[in-house]
């Protein structure tokens, strides 16, 4: 459960796209699907 919550948090703050050491450390072993990321971005853009 904690793994899923961490993945959700990192996706929510878009940490997978951040080019910083802290983001690399947190996302190193996690892989979020590109399709899910694109859906989230599209949803945010529609809401704006």
Instruction: Give the pLDDT of residue 21.
Output: 94
**pTM higher than 0.75, yes or no?**
no
Distance, in Å, from the CA atom of 19 to the CA atom of 43, rounded to the nearest integer, reads 23
Question: What are the residue boundaries of the structural domains of the chain, listed by start?
Answer: 2-47
Burial 5-41 (b: 16+ CB within 10 A, else e): eebeebbeeebbeeeeeebeebbeeeeeeeeeeeeee
Ranges of residues in the chain whose predicted pLDDT is under 70: 1, 31-40
Instruction: Give the pLDDT of residue 42.
Output: 77
């Amino acid at each position: 459960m904690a793994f899923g919550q961490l993945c959700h948090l990192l996706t929510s703050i878009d940490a997978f796209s951040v080019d910083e050491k802290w983001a690399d450390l947190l996302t190193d072993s996690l892989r979020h699907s590109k399709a899910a990321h694109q859906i989230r971005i599209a949803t945010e853009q529609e809401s704006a």
